A and B are shown apart, each in its own frame.
Chain A
Amino acid sequence: MGNEFLPLFYTFNFYLFGLVALACALMFVTRKSPVAAAMWLVGAMFSLAALYVMLDAQFVGAMQVLVYTGAIMVVFLFVVMLLNLGNPGELSDIRGKWGRLVAGFVGLALVAELMALAKSPLDLRLVVPAVTAPPQTGGVIAPIAGPLFKEYLLAFELTSILLLVAIMGAVVLAKKKDAR
C-alpha cells in the first residue's frame, strides 16, 4: 500500500533497509568469529523481512522473522556455542588469497549480470495480475493459502515430503551415533 500515496516514505525506507541488509551481509561474510557472523546474518534477515513487508507481503515478512531469525539462527547459535567455536583464532572459514580473489570475481560477475539484466531492452517485468481488492475474510494469508492448496497442491505436498525425508535422515543419523 505504501508506494501509492507515500512515495517519499517508501523510497526512504527502501534504501534504508536495503543498505542495512547489504551492510549486514558484508559484515556477515567478513567476520571471523562465528557468533558475530551469525548475529550479522540475523540483522540481514531482519532487513529482508522489512523489505517484504514494504512489498505488502506481510505474511512472508512475519515468516521470515519467525522461521529464519527466530528458529534457524537460534539453532545455528546453539550449535556454534555448543561446539565452542567462539574463538576466532581456532577456526575461520575465510580461505587464503586465491580463495578471496575467486570469490571477488564471482561476486563481480554476479553484479555485472544484474546490471546487464537491468539495462536490457527485453521486457523482464513480472506478469502482474489485474489488481483486485484483497478479500475481507482471511486477511493477508488467504491470497497465499489459496494458490498453495489449490493450484500448486502437488508441488506443495512434494516439498513437504522432501522435508519429511530430511527429518527422517537426521533422526537416523542421530540414532546411529547414539548406538555406538
Chain B
Amino acid sequence: MLTHTLPMLLQVADPQLPPTTGVFVIFSIIKMLVIFGLVMVTVAYTTFAERRIAAWIQDRHGPNRVGPWGLFQVLADGVKNFMKEETYPADANKILFVMAPALAFVPAMLTWSVIPFASPLPTPWGRIDMVVADLPIGFLFTLAISSLGVYGLTLAGWSSNNKYALLGGLRASAQMVSYEIAMGMSTVCVLLLAGNVHLTEIIGQQVAMGWNVLLLSVAFFLFLIAAFAETNRVPFDLPESESELVAGYHTEYSAMKYSMFPIAEYANMITAGAMMSTLFLGGWDIPFTTWDNVPPFTVLKTLVTFGFFVAKTLFWVFFFIWIRWTLPRFRYDQLMSLGWKFMLPVALAYVAIIAAAVVALDRAGFTRGHKFGAVLFGLNLVLVVVLFFILDRGRVVSPAYSRLDRAAVDKLRAVAPSRATLRGPGA
C-alpha cells in the first residue's frame, strides 16, 4: 500500500515529479535503515571481537561471562554506558564539548551512503542498485567526508580545557591532515585505471582487469597505512596514546559521550575496511567466476555477493585488531617523517609510473581487459621488489629500527644534561 500512497503524496507536493520517485524514495529509506542497523550491530560486536581477539593473542580468556561465550557483554556495556554519570570539566566549552562526539561519529556513517555492497536486486518495480546513493563523484565524496572526521577529535581536545586533551587534539589534526594527502595520492592510481571516480565503475574495472590489490600493490600498501593513521589505530594512535596523554583527546569524557568515540573509531574501521574492499579487492565481486557480474540478476546473487562484501570487510576489521595487538606505537617524529618523507614521494612516483604504463599500454593497442591486467601485474611485481627489498631495507616494515640522523642524535644528547640539572642536586 505504501508504494501507492507515498508517490501520491509526493505528486501532491510537486506535480512535476517523475512517477518512479516513489519507488526510489521507499527503497532508499529501506537501504538506509538496513545499512545503518547492520553497521551499528557490527560496531557493537567489533568491540567485543577486539577484546576476545586481544585475549586470544595474549593467551587469556577475555569477556566470557555474560551470555553464551560472553556474547551479551555488548548489551551490558551499552547499559553501563547509559547509566554512568555525565561529567563536565570546569570551564569547558559546553556546546563544542557535547557536539564533538557526534562530529566524530557522523562522517564514519556518511561514507557508507556511496559504497556499493551487492549486485543489483531485481524487484517488480525495476532493478534496484545495492548502494544508498550512487553519486557520480562517489570516491571523492568518501574522501571529502572522511576528511571531516578530524573535527570531532580536535574539538573534543580543545573544548575539554585540559592540557592532555588539547595535545591529543593537536596531534589528531596534524596526523590526519598529513595522512589524508598520502591516502588521496595513493588512490589516484586506482582512478587512473578505472578512468572514473564512480565506485560502481571502479568495481567494474576490477572485474575486467583483476583486483587492484594485485595490479597496484604499492598503492594498496600506502592506502592501508594511511587508513590506520586516519582511524587513529595502533600504531598510529598518538592522539589517544594512553601511556603519554592519559587518554588523549577524550580524557575528560565520561559515560555515553565517551562511548561515542570508541563507536566512531570502530565505525571508521569498518568503513575503512569497506573502502579497501571496494577500491582494491573488487567490492562485492566474487573471484574466478563471472556468474555474479552478468544478468539475469537474482535475489540469490544479491545475497551471495553481499556475503562476499561483508566477508572482505570483516577480514580488514580483523586485520586492524590483529595489528593493534602486534605492533608498538610510532614516535611522533617517525609518524611525520613516514607520512611526508616516505609515503608522499612514493605515492607521487607511483602515480607517474602507473600513468606512463597505462598510456604505453593504450598506445600498444591493449584493450582494458585481462591481458592489460597481466602486464600491469608483472610491472607491479618488479616495483614491489624494488621498493621493499632494495629501497626500503626494512625501514618501514620494522619502523622501530628507524634511525635518527647524526644531527638529531647530537641534539638529543645536548638536551639530556640540561634535563639532569633541572632535577636539582638531589637527583
Contacts and interface: CB of A to CB of B under 8 A. Distances in A.
User: For the complex, would chain B's binding face be called helix, strand, loop or mixed by DSSP majority?
Assistant: helix
B38 to A, nearest CB: 26
Nearest to B181: A71
Given A6-B14, A65-B145, A69-B147, A58 B173 contact: no
Contacts of B93: 35, 86
A62 B173 contact: no
A5 B145 CA distance: 28
Nearest to A70: B147
B14 A9 contact: yes
Contacts of B143: 62, 66
Given A5-B17, A5-B18, A8-B13, A62 B140 contact: yes
A42 interface: yes
B136 A71 contact: no
A62 B144 contact: yes
Interface in A28-67: 35, 39, 42, 58-59, 61-63, 65-66
A138 B195 contact: yes
B143 to A, nearest CB: 6
* Size bracket, chain B contacts: 35 or more
A36 B17 CA distance: 41
B240 interface: no
A25 interface: no
B158 A74 contact: no
A78 B197 CA distance: 30
Interface string B145-156: 101101100110
Contact of B16 (A5, A58, A65, A78): A5
B147 A139 contact: no
A58 B155 CA distance: 28
A71 B147 contact: yes
Interface in B176-199: 176-177, 180, 195-198
A138 to B, nearest CB: 6
A137 interface: yes
22 contacts: A5-B16, A5-B18, A6-B17, A58-B135, A62-B143, A63-B140, A63-B144, A65-B144, A66-B147, A70-B144, A74-B147, A74-B154, A74-B173, A77-B151, A77-B154, A77-B158, A78-B154, A81-B173, A86-B158, A137-B195, A139-B196, A141-B197
Interface of B: 13-14, 16-18, 93, 96, 135-137, 140-141, 143-145, 147-148, 150-151, 154-155, 157-158, 166, 169-170, 173-174, 176-177, 180, 195-198, 201
Given A6-B16, A69-B148, 18 more contacts: A6-B17, A62-B137, A65-B144, A69-B144, A70-B180, A71-B177, A74-B150, A74-B151, A74-B176, A74-B177, A77-B151, A78-B174, A86-B93, A86-B158, A138-B195, A139-B197, A140-B197, A141-B197
The 9 closest A-B pairs by CB, nearest first: A70-B147, A65-B144, A62-B140, A66-B144, A8-B14, A58-B137, A78-B173, A140-B136, A62-B144
